[in-house]
Amino acid sequence: MTERLEMYRCEICGNLVEVILDGAGELVCCGEPMTLLHARNNDSEGLEKHVPVFDEIQDNKTKIRVGSIPHPMVNEHYVMFIEAVSKDNNETHLKYLYPADEPEMVTDLKNIAAREFCNIHGLWEGTND
């Protein structure tokens, strides 16, 4: 069974899928079941910081930055996207990123969690509690 907003990855080809609606089936890619990703939320290991950080800015918007110090954004190691998710899971804002982009986004969603996906270290999350 899959649940809304879960993320699954194919271990063979690297496809990443986000569930839009709950379902009873199993997600399969390249003939194999996909792996459910579990977001990490503790930056205590390593030099790179991944947990999203929140800053209130003008016009009631929130800036989401990846890491307490900026995450690397080079071809070999970068944040592929940031997603803001309302606490009730009814709204999302997604921003795709590329090497040389700033690892941040601005959203007008309130009471949010944020997820980001690093091409090397996978899925991370944080909340603006």
Query: What's the number of domains the chain is made of?
Result: 2
Please indicate, yes or no, whether residues 31 and 59 belong to a single structural domain of this protein: no
4-44 pLDDT per residue, tens: 999 999 999 999 999 999 999 999 999 999 999 999 998 87
Please indicate, yes or no, whether residues 18 and 68 belong to a single structural domain of this protein: no
81-121 pLDDT per residue, tens: 999 999 899 999 999 999 999 999 999 998 899 999 999 99
Q: Domain for residue 1, yes or no?
A: no
Q: Domain for residue 79, yes or no?
A: yes
Please indicate, yes or no, whether residues 30 and 59 belong to a single structural domain of this protein: no
Please indicate, yes or no, whether residues 72 and 121 belong to a single structural domain of this protein: yes
Please indicate, yes or no, whether residues 32 and 94 belong to a single structural domain of this protein: no
Please indicate, yes or no, whether residues 86 and 120 belong to a single structural domain of this protein: yes
Q: How confident is the model at residue 45 (pLDDT cuts 50, 70, 90)?
A: low
Please tell me whether the overall predicted TM-score, pTM, comes out greater than 0.75 for this model: yes
Please indicate, yes or no, whether residues 32 and 56 belong to a single structural domain of this protein: no
- What's the domain range around 18? 7-36
Please indicate, yes or no, whether residues 110 and 64 belong to a single structural domain of this protein: yes
Q: Domain for residue 104, yes or no?
A: yes
Residue of 113, 76, 68, 74 lying closest to 92 (CA atoms): 113
Please indicate, yes or no, whether residues 115 and 81 belong to a single structural domain of this protein: yes
Q: How far is CA 121 from CA 46, 68, 88, in A?
A: 10, 16, 27
Please indicate, yes or no, whether residues 123 and 61 belong to a single structural domain of this protein: yes
By CB neighbour count within 10 A (0-12 exposed, 13-18 middle, 19+ buried), where does 64 fall? buried
Q: How confident is the model at residue 46 (pLDDT cuts 50, 70, 90)?
A: low
